Amino acid sequence: MPRASDSRRGSSLPIASLRHLHTLTSAKMSAHSLEKDSPIHQEHAGEKDVTSLNNEHHVSEAMLHHEAIMSGVTADRLAAETLYVDQAKAEELGRELRSNQQQGYHPITDEERKVHYALNRKFDLCVLPLLILIYLFNGLDRSNLGNAQTDNFSTDIGIPASSVNTASSLFFATFVPLQPFLAAFGKRFGQIYFLTVICFCWGLLTICHAFVKSDSQLIAVRLLMGIAESGFYPTCLSYLSLFYPRHDLAFRFALFYGMYAVAGAFGGLIAFGIFQIQSGALYPWQYLFILEGCVPIVLSCFIPFVLSRDPKSAWFLKPHEREYAEKRMVIDAAANLNGTYKVSKRDVIEIVKDWKLWFILPANTLAGTCPQGFTIFFPVVVKGLGYAGALANLMTVPPYVCGAIVLVIFAYSSDKCKERTFHILGGMLIIIVGLIITVSLPLANTGGRYAGLLILLSGSFVFSPIVSAWYAGNTPEPGKRTIGLAIIGWGNVSGIIGSELFQAQYGPDYRYPLQITLGLMVVAFAGYVLVHILLRLANRSRAKKLANMTPQQIEDENTSDVRVGDKKYTFVYGL
């Protein structure tokens, strides 16, 4: 019989002994069910007579969830119990694979739901807000060049308008390729300290924009900005995935990523207000860069004091909450927690062989043309409709607000329904409809084209956080997941596509770039459909394999390290 210590996150107890412990715990559960209003966290699991190896008992879902909120049941023991397989568990795995019902942590009793949602609320209040606020200014710092251009930035420093496009493109030359390397470095260095340093650096570099005097200086600053920002987004997603189970992630990723949409709206408002300043020693766009650079520097000082390394060290949790936070993630990750604080050589090898990543990446790259490329020059496109200067920035606000609202609605529905693909495709359809309206109407129809742009931006932010949650949920090993989320960030190369597409020569209607973008969105839509089909076929193939395996062989598959994480035949891909 394999020992629990053979697992990737093992217990020191043999699984046979754990079977007997389950019998004892079941009796305790039955007795406890007769006691009303007993404090859940004061209940302890029975630990006697662990040497009997003859009592085999199915590790039921109800029992695992009961133990998750019991004091005295260690995370190591719970990890071992998730790997135990008997005939009933084997049949259950087969059903999950055939029906594409992904495993993961879902509270199943009222008492457990109460504890689960209370813990999520604490994370929502103590972890998310600072990250959200920082990402808001990350979005502002990335898009403020487009806002500055509407206030004659290039004219004031004596460079051609095309240099702004070139500098924006070259930002992605360092931002995109360095993401997996810096995300892996950040995990090894310490994600909290890594976030502190890079946040300070990009704030300083944003201020530097106010004092560039040539196109070469602008390009140099944008290249350095790309380095400073490249590891931020994947590190934050990896960090959040340590706190929330997989089917709570999309909504949190959306709240986080939604700040990119809010940054577009907020950036337009800030630019509109600052551009009213017509006196002083500096140009209005210089004040814009200085203000939006100072805030990240201030925020970086709070990171090491507010954010904790993980749920087990969270300063705002009580001891029993830390215990429960760890155990629910054990159930959610099927005991694949050994890479929480490191990236191993095997993680790198596994990520290279991760076929689903390399199918998602092209679709993500094409879909990213809207949020990463088009949005940078959205103020310029709106200006082409006839809105001038500061008013052009103000008119960008409603589409971004709609984009943030639609994103949160889609992400909440995705978590609630435990479904990803059709929510992603729904967002893509909104983009396609908006683009069709925009390219079909003449420039003279200002209201109609603006409505098309509003619809287009409403769907532009939906796919990214849901795709990230989709991939994170299908990649249980933290080390591999960190690198994978960063490589998905290579889709930001679409920012180069957008920067080169929306050249001034295509203004004022920008019909040609919008037509190309429409074609890219259709191909991306087809790409996500293909990934869905391939994952469904993989589940079907695994169901057939398990049907020809005994419970002992399935348990060996769970505990062996021949295949790890989502490569195990017992892992169900979520759709």
Average pLDDT over residues 486-512: 80
> Residue 3 in 3-state DSSP?
strand
Both tokens of residue 32? Answer: 């406890």
The answer to the question of residue 275 being in a domain is yes
Taking residues 33-60, what's their average pLDDT? 41
Shared-domain flag, residues 436 and 538: yes
**pLDDT of res. 341:** 55
Q: pLDDT tier at 482 (50, 70, 90 boundaries)?
A: confident
Does 252 reside within a domain?
yes
Same domain, 398 and 452: yes
Of the chain, the percentage scoring pLDDT greater than 90 comes to 35
Cβ contacts of residue 18 below 8 Å, gap of 6+? 4, 11, 59, 77, 80, 81, 84
Choosing from 334, 368, 396, the residue where a domain stops is 334
* 416 touches 254 (CB < 8 A): no
Spatial neighbors of 279 by CB under 8 A, at least 6 apart, are: none
Looking at per-residue pLDDT, the higher value among 503 and 472 belongs to 472
Of the residues 334, 362, 385, the one at which a domain ends: 334
Is residue 322 over pLDDT 80?
Answer: yes
| Statement: residue 274 has pLDDT above 80 | yes
Same domain membership, residue 415 and residue 319: no
380 exposed, middle or buried (CB, 10 Å; 0-12, 13-18, 19+)? buried
Residues 369 and 507 both lie in one domain: yes
pLDDT score recorded for residue 63: 77
Average pLDDT for residues 225-246, to the nearest whole number? 91
pLDDT for residue 194: 95
> Is the pLDDT score of 45 beyond 60?
no
In angstroms, rounded to a whole number, what is the distance separating the alpha carbons of residues 372 and 168?
Answer: 11
The fraction of the chain above a pLDDT of 70, given in percent, is 84
Confidence of residue 46 (pLDDT cuts 50, 70, 90): very low
CATH number for 274: 1.20.1250.20
**Does pLDDT of 49 surpass 50?**
no
The per-residue pLDDT of the chain, averaged, comes to 81
Task: Report yes or no on 99 lying in a domain.
Answer: no
- Identify the band that residue 250 occupies on the pLDDT scale cut at 50, 70 and 90: very high
Mean per-residue pLDDT for 108-134? Answer: 92
| DSSP code at position 373 | I
Instruction: Tell me the average pLDDT across 352-372.
Output: 90
Model confidence at 97: pLDDT above 70:
yes
Q: What is the mean pLDDT of residues 298-304?
A: 95
Higher pLDDT, 409 or 65: 409
Q: Per the domain annotation, does 302 fall within a domain?
A: yes
**Structural domain boundaries, residue 430:** 354-569
Give the pLDDT of residue 36.
37
The residue count of the chain comes to 575
Q: How many domains would you assign to the chain?
A: 2
255 shares its domain with 386: no
Judged against a pLDDT cut of 60, whether residue 6 lies above it is answered with no
Please state the rounded mean pLDDT for residues 18-42.
Answer: 40
Do residue 167 and residue 309 come from a single domain? yes
| Residue 389: band (very low, low, confident or very high) from pLDDT cuts 50, 70, 90 | low
Whether 292 and 233 share a structural domain: yes
In this structure, the answer to whether residues 494 and 396 fall within a common structural domain is yes
Distance CA 61, CA 46 (A): 19
Give 84 or 114, the one with higher predicted confidence: 114
Dump pLDDT digits (tens) for 344-357: 888 889 999 999 99
Tens of pLDDT, residue by residue over 412-427, are 999 999 999 999 999 9
- pTM, two decimals, is 0.80
Domain membership of residue 55 (yes or no) is: no
Check whether 31 has a pLDDT greater than 70.
no
Q: Clarify whether residues 424 and 488 are in a common domain.
A: yes
Report yes or no on 461 lying in a domain. yes
Does one domain contain both 468 and 565? yes
**Last residue of a domain, which of 284, 301, 334?**
334
Tell me how far apart the 2 most distant CA atoms of the chain are, in Å. 86
SS3 of residue 177 by DSSP: coil
Higher pLDDT, 143 or 572: 572
> Which residues lie below 8 Å from residue 248, measured CB to CB, with a gap of 6+?
120, 415
pLDDT for res 361? 93
Contacts of 155 by beta carbon, 8 Å cutoff, 6+ apart:
none
155 and 282 belong to one structural domain: yes
Identify the DSSP state of 574. Answer: P
- d(C-alpha 336, C-alpha 7), whole Å: 8
Residue range 310-317: average pLDDT? Answer: 90
DSSP H helix total and E strand total for the chain: 28, 0
Confidence of residue 373 (pLDDT cuts 50, 70, 90): low
Q: Which pair of structure tokens corresponds to residue 395?
A: 């008119």
Residue 443 has a pLDDT of: 76
Residue 514 has pLDDT above 50, yes or no: yes
295: which 2 tokens? 């805030």
In tens, the pLDDT along 160-201 reads 888 888 888 888 889 888 999 999 899 888 899 999 999 999
Residues 251 and 296 placed together within one structural domain of the fold: yes
Q: Tell me which residue of 372, 332, 373, 290 sits closest to 481, measured CA to CA.
A: 332
Give a yes or no: residue 154 inside a domain.
yes
Closest CA to 147 of 306, 305, 382: 382
